[in-house]
Amino acid sequence: MTDYSFLEPNTMIRLYAQGAFPMADEDGSIEWYYPEIRTIIPLDNFNYPRSLRKFIEKSDFEFRFDVDPINVIRNCADRENTWISEELIEAYKRLYKLGFLHSVEVYKENELVGGLYGITHRGAFFGESMFSTVSQASKSALVKLIEHLNEKGFVLLDIQFITDHLKMFGAVEIALEEYQKLLILSYTKNVFF
């Protein structure tokens, strides 16, 4: 029997607070990762393409927070290759019940069409995954997340890995030393999602 004690809520929050994050391999085994190069979206100077801003203003998207995070996670996991195993989904359910897991959901005509989720600890949001079934939904969710984090006083948005998709939002790779400084700063913030 596999020991998943590292997926207990207290252990998970402690590891996230140190900057680690879990991923399941193809065989289902779960490892915690702590890369030397970190990817963040700086919250203090957030900017995004004007075309996306206009799209969001004119769209019929409705944005909700924490209404159906498990459905968001399941949609994120619904891919040919996924790192989100059933064991992780169960662990995320426990974190949601304890108030550590949060989601941004995008609805169109009352149907979930996109969203993202992540873990919070003090002033840090550790972005885990996003999905969309219609164009621009995940990008719109990310915009709403960043606006929300800024409004609430968060100081760190950790997005784990850089992609071209995330570069348009100012995603940058930083050295572990700089990341740790931001992590320590986030500990000083007593903010709530």
- 5-187 sits in which CATH class? alpha beta
Burial 5-32 (b: 16+ CB within 10 A, else e): eebeeeebbebbbebbbbbbeeeeebee
| The pLDDT value given to residue 165 | 84
Cβ 43 vs Cβ 191: under 8 Å: no
Q: By three-state DSSP, how is residue 118 classified? A: strand
* Contact present, 139 and 164 (Cβ < 8 Å): no
Angle at 171 between CA 79 and CA 149, to 5 degrees: 90
pLDDT of residue 1: 41
List the chain pLDDT tens, one digit each, 193 residues.
Answer: 455 678 899 999 999 999 999 999 888 789 999 999 999 999 987 888 899 999 999 999 999 999 999 999 999 999 878 889 899 999 999 999 999 999 999 999 999 999 999 999 999 999 999 999 999 999 999 999 999 999 999 999 999 999 888 998 999 999 999 999 999 999 999 999 9
Q: How distant, in Å, are the alpha carbons of 70, 89, 97, 100 from that of 93?
A: 7, 6, 6, 10
H or E stretch including 15? helix 9-17
DSSP element (H, E) containing 125? strand 124-132
Give the Cα separation of 185 and 123 in Å (integer): 8
